[in-house]
Amino acid sequence: MLAPKILPYMPKHFSRLVEPFAGMAAISIAAAKQDRANSYVINDVNGAVVDILQMAIESPSKLYEEYRKVWLSQFDYPEGHVNHFYKIRDEYNNGDRSAAKMLYLIARCVKGSIRYDNNGKFNQSPDKRRNGTSPNTLKQNIEAISYFLKDRTSFFSVDYHDILDMTIPGDIVYLDPPYQGTSNVRDSRYISGVDFNDFVKAIEHLNKKNVDFIISYDGSCGDKQYGKELPKELELEKVLLNAGWSSQSILLGKRETTFEALYISRGLQQRTPVTHTFHPEHIQYSLFNPVTA
């Protein structure tokens, strides 16, 4: 996540930050830590992720206690840590959709990446090298996130069009839709895709409403381009952010830099030129990484 490189393109303070494709809401967390907005809208089509975030922000102690029980139980499981993961995964897929269990699965799975099969069941494998984020570390992080976002965040799990319809001038919308960026194949984290032409029309609608926005969309790695560029008719400024070495290319014995494209709306282009003062550059703000209150 390039939150420290994205935030400078936003005003220092504004009314509301809206994330229609929030994921784990790294941008909202980072913006709230700097007190950029008065309120926040977190939405994602993956309702399980929204449930985790809502519980972390509104009931951090409850989430901590429930997560702690699940996390500690792996050490007492007679068939070992890995089989414990599969047991929790099966329970979750069979209807026990608690936020704590989903959080544990994310903390314990490979790369912390959420993946589903064609039937909508969580199918990511466990990372055998680690036990997942400790409850004490998680407690500190969710308490900090709750401190920054509680009582000023609204939660949704609806189609992104419904969220964009809610926006008004004064909002800043951060859009990071699936199926673009470093993959030109279907992103299995999401059940439904985002049609390119439909997305362009949605951006045109934001322009007509005079709502400012930032979009993370396409990018490149070495001499490879990923994703389709947004049309020039939208009058957006395209900025390439250095996302560091590609882990995939390193595995292949290469050193190729990944760049993520950021598109800036007309209104935000007229702001003071951006100066980057954030260090280190690749902080990720999330439930699993330190967010000091």
d(CA 26, CA 110): 19
The pLDDT of residue 251: 39
- Are the C-beta atoms of 122 and 93 separated by less than 8 Å? yes
The pLDDT of residue 246: 47
The pLDDT of residue 181: 42
Partner residues linked to 37 by β-bridges? 14
With cut-offs at 50, 70 and 90, classify the pLDDT of residue 241.
Answer: confident
d(CA 70, CA 58): 20
The pLDDT of residue 146: 98
Which structural domains are found in the chain, ordered by start?
3-46+157-269 (3.40.50.150), 59-139 (1.10.1020.10)
d(CA 16, CA 34): 13
DSSP conformation letters of 123-140: -PPB-TT---S-HHHHHH
Once rounded to an integer, what is the mean pLDDT over residues 49-54?
Answer: 97
With cut-offs at 50, 70 and 90, classify the pLDDT of residue 253.
Answer: very low
The pLDDT of residue 96: 94
- C-alpha triplet 129, 132, 51: angle, nearest 5°: 145
Once rounded to an integer, what is the mean pLDDT over residues 50-61?
Answer: 98
d(CA 256, CA 259): 10
The pLDDT of residue 113: 85
Question: Considering only CA atoms, which of 105, 111, 107 is closest in space to residue 123?
Answer: 105
Q: pLDDT tens digits, residue range 133-150?
A: 999 999 999 999 999 999
DSSP conformation letters of the chain: --HHHHGGGS-SSEEEEEETT-TT-HHHHHHHHTT-EEEEEEE-S-HHHHHHHHHHHH-HHHHHHHHHHHHHHTTS-TT-HHHHHHHHHHHHHTT---HHHHHHHHHHBGGG---B-TTS-B-PPB-TT---S-HHHHHHHHHHHHHHHTTSEEEE-S-HHHHHHH--BTEEEEE--TT-TT-SS--TT-SS---HHHHHHHHHHHHHTT-EEEEEEEEEETTEEESPPPPGGG-PEEEEEEEEE-HHHHHTT---EEEEEEEE-HHHHTSPPP----SSTT---STTS----
Q: pLDDT tens digits, residue range 88-128?
A: 999 999 999 999 999 999 999 998 888 898 888 999 999 99
Q: pLDDT tens digits, residue range 164-214?
A: 999 999 999 999 998 554 333 444 444 457 889 999 999 999 999 999 999
The pLDDT of residue 182: 38
The pLDDT of residue 273: 52
Higher-scoring residue by pLDDT: 252, 41? 41
pLDDT reading at 276 higher than 80? no
